[in-house]
Amino acid sequence: MGKSKLVTSDAWQRLRSATPARIALGRAGGSLPTREWLDFKSAHASARQAVHQPFAAEQLARELAALEVEAVIVDSAAGDRLMFLQRPDLGRRLKPDSEQRLRAILPANRALDLAIIVSDGLSALAVHRQVPPLLKSLLPKLVSEHWSLAPIVIARFGRVALQDQIGQLLGAQLAIILIGERPGLGSPDSLGAYLVYAPRPGNTDANRNCVSNIRPEGLPYDAAVETLLYLLTEARRRRLSGIPLKDQRVVNSAEHLAIPGNESRGATPA
């Protein structure tokens, strides 16, 4: 048997406590240490598992019912997980029977401010872990600010652009989709929130705003809710979303830090 190789520490070792990124892993000869290699393989397996984990839409609907929220379950045209992964276009539109189901719940002579859609996307794990606590915090704030809401739509095998068809069918001024993001190594449960003003098929990513990495280890719920409320309120007030809509709180803060003596500068006009 050959002698085991000693692990040589990296000079940046002390920086590892500041980030979950895989830096300063050290080396054993010309390779990664066994522990770091096994950790990488485990994270890769977790990410793959998150992509293929089944979405329990009925279970989620029961959890939302506990929040006294009405929900309706629909399906994209993808139909199953394999088709969803192979045909992204099918995840951007509803099955015909699901489309009819939404048409049947249209409110009579009532304009809605917001349609909320929840979909598994590329990580059902993210949806099951993050959506209930996020909505538990977000919904009461929307109600207190007099937003008129459509029933929450839970969509199986959905892509982001599915929000356009659903939002248009429900006659909502704005649509937001909470969707499982593509799992990363070490973050298989990251939730994304995409909002769009005037949802309609044909919108592009340039028309949307995204708040990403919503999870306790990333963007905490309270911070995510604060950001979403800001963007939704500004989108409704200014009647737009996407590239023209910035989180002005962040822009103003960055300008304040970057430009000496700008303490007296007013906020950039929205």
CATH label of the domain that carries residue 99 = 3.40.50.11240
pTM of the model: 0.79
**Secondary structure of the chain: what % helix, strand, coil (to 5)?**
45, 20, 40
| Residue 247 phi, psi dihedral angles, 5° rounding | -80, 95
In a domain, 37, yes or no: no
- Does a structural domain hold residue 154? yes
- For 60-78, the DSSP string reads HHHHHHTTT--EEEEEBTT
91 occurs within a structural domain: yes
Residue 79 belongs to some domain of the structure: yes
Whether 254 is covered by a domain: the verdict is no
The per-residue pLDDT for 54 is 82
pLDDT at residue 270, as a whole number:
31
HSE (side-chain half, CA atoms, 13 Å) at 48: 6
Q: Is 1 domain-assigned? A: no
CA 150/CA 175 separation, integer angstroms:
10
d(CA 97, CA 76): 10
Residue found by looking up tokens 């500041």 in the block: 18
Q: Could you tell me if residue 159 is inside a domain?
A: yes
Nearest 5°: phi and psi at 263?
-60, -30
Instruction: Print the domain residue range for 219.
Output: 54-246
Bridge partner residues of 210 (DSSP): 194
Say how many domains are in the chain: 1
Record the tokens describing residue 192, joined without a space.
Answer: 């994304």
Establish if 187 belongs to a structural domain: yes
Local confidence pLDDT in tens for the 270 residues of the chain: 445 567 777 666 676 666 666 666 667 766 766 776 566 656 555 555 655 578 999 999 999 999 999 999 999 999 898 898 899 999 999 999 999 999 988 765 577 999 999 999 999 999 999 999 999 999 999 999 999 999 999 999 999 999 999 999 999 999 999 999 987 666 789 999 999 999 999 999 999 999 999 999 899 999 999 999 999 999 999 999 999 999 988 766 666 555 554 443 333 333
